């Protein structure tokens, strides 16, 4: 274990400790999933060897050998649904979210590597539309819906996703007109530590990040310097390396529209956000901190992957492949997934 940690630290140092112009270029090693007609926006990286992806057509895949082979572990009754988020605790236990209005929003859980699934939640409120979920630990988690009666709706579990309840909304600030979350990468709701959680928004006059320090009971809202003012614009993804330091990425998801100021950073748990001095050049839908680093992170989107080595102040493009979401593990197992069945693992 000590040797493995040393190897990981050395690999990370090789990427982040030299001047930007001398950095070795991170390289996505594309894995053959055997599927080309599915878009994977849900991704749960467990290790360099184990990862889960979830996407259109009710599809869920799992690998336990670093992506050399993939097993189709899709729930049998989910063919007409769209998975947009999946959270995995290990190679056997995972919780996945489908999105849509009314009963299209559902949560499934497996305890046997996807051999069987249990539908643990089905939305019965036609006004609700669930976008993302997150877990603080293997028992406690939240899911979020676009506003209902003027406030974002929060769903809570304390038994690992086996059962869910809607939290009271007394501690939730009022939503702006047109405000919503983006079910683009499973990263519009993220957590760090045992109680802190953040929610990303767009579509309204101002993009915002909402923060709760008590597992979703009370929230505060802060404006983010990422352009909004249109249903296609806002903050699409968040990543926190601890309860203070976070990154936000987004922009305008329409290919023909520019996305200036597509990234921001915070050092005070999201109370204030600062725009990147040199942001990614286009819309980005996913972001993840590189493990064991205080300054390095990846952002992905349909037009490429960007790397920061200074905590989100500046970004540079390191790959031009299309990915929607990215996730990293403590053993440097960074994975990305996206359209046309694309899944890749980061190599250096």
Q: How far apart are alpha carbons 323 and 326 in whole angstroms?
A: 8
pLDDT score at 118: 98
The answer on pLDDT for 8 being more than 50 is no
**Percentage, residues of the chain above pLDDT 90:** 92
User: Residue 234: which residues within 8 A CB-CB, separation 6 or more?
Assistant: 182, 200, 201, 202, 203, 204, 207, 226, 227, 228, 250
pLDDT score at 1: 39
* pLDDT tens, position by position, 225-234: 999 999 999 9
The answer on pLDDT for 2 being more than 50 is no
Output the average pLDDT for the chain. Answer: 93
pLDDT confidence of 348, banded at 50, 70, 90? confident
The answer on pLDDT for 155 being more than 90 is yes
**Average pLDDT value for residue range 42-54:** 98
Name the nearest CA neighbour of 187 among 336, 58, 312, 38: 336
| Alpha-carbon dihedral sign for residues 172, 83, 338, 94 | positive
Reported residue count of the chain is 348
pLDDT score at 26: 74
The answer on pLDDT for 212 being more than 80 is yes
Q: How far apart are alpha carbons 148 and 141 in whole angstroms?
A: 20
The answer on pLDDT for 20 being more than 60 is no
The answer on pLDDT for 149 being more than 80 is yes
Name the nearest CA neighbour of 138 among 116, 157, 153: 157
The answer on pLDDT for 31 being more than 50 is yes
* pLDDT tens, position by position, 73-92: 999 999 999 999 999 999 99
pLDDT score at 18: 40
The answer on pLDDT for 17 being more than 90 is no
Q: Write down the pTM of the prediction.
A: 0.93
pLDDT score at 24: 54
Paired with 185 in beta bridges are none
Asked whether the beta carbons of 283 and 317 are under 8 A apart, the reply is no
Q: Is 167 helix (H, G, I), strand (E, B) or coil?
A: coil
| Alpha-carbon dihedral sign for residues 38, 40, 44, 46 | positive
pLDDT confidence of 25, banded at 50, 70, 90? low
**Average pLDDT value for residue range 3-32:** 55
The answer on pLDDT for 314 being more than 80 is yes
**Average pLDDT value for residue range 293-322:** 97
**Average pLDDT value for residue range 250-258:** 96
* pLDDT tens, position by position, 95-142: 999 999 999 999 999 999 999 999 999 999 999 999 999 999 999 999
pLDDT confidence of 173, banded at 50, 70, 90? very high
The answer on pLDDT for 294 being more than 70 is yes
* pLDDT tens, position by position, 195-207: 999 999 999 999 9
Sheet holding 286-289, edge to edge: 286-289, 297-301, 304-308, 316-319
The answer on pLDDT for 7 being more than 70 is no
């Amino acid at each position: 274990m000590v040797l493995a940690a040393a190897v990981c630290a050395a690999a990370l140092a090789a990427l982040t400790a030299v001047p930007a112009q001398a950095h070795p270029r991170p390289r996505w090693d594309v894995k053959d999933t055997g599927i080309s007609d599915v878009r994977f926006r849900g991704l749960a990286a467990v290790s360099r060897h184990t990862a889960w992806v979830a996407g259109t057509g009710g599809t869920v895949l799992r690998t336990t050998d670093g992506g050399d082979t993939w097993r189709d572990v899709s729930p049998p009754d989910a063919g007409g649904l769209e998975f947009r988020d999946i959270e995995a605790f290990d190679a056997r236990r995972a919780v996945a979210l489908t999105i849509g209005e009314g009963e299209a929003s559902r949560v499934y859980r497996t305890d046997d590597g996807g051999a069987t699934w249990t539908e643990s939640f089905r939305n019965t409120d036609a006004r609700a539309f669930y976008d993302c979920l997150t877990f603080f630990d293997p028992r406690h988690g939240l899911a979020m819906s676009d506003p209902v009666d003027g406030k974002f709706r929060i769903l809570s579990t304390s038994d690992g996703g086996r059962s869910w309840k809607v939290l009271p909304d007394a501690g939730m600030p009022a939503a702006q007109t047109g405000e919503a979350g983006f079910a683009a990468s499973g990263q519009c709701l993220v957590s760090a530590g045992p109680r802190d959680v953040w929610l990303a928004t767009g579509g309204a006059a101002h993009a915002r990040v909402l923060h709760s320090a008590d597992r979703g009971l009370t929230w505060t809202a802060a404006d983010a310097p990422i352009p909004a003012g249109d249903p296609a614009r806002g903050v699409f993804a968040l990543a926190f390396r601890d309860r203070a330091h976070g990154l936000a990425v987004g922009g305008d998801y329409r290919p023909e529209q520019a996305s200036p100021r597509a990234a921001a950073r915070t050092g005070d748990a999201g109370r204030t956000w600062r725009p990147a001095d040199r942001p990614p050049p286009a819309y980005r839908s996913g972001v993840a901190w590189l493990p064991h680093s205080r300054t390095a992170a990846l952002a992905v989107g349909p037009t490429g992957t960007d790397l920061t080595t200074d905590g989100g102040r500046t970004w540079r493009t390191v790959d031009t492949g299309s990915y929607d979401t990215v996730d990293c593990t403590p053993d440097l197992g960074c994975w990305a997934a996206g359209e046309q069945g694309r899944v890749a693992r980061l190599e250096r």
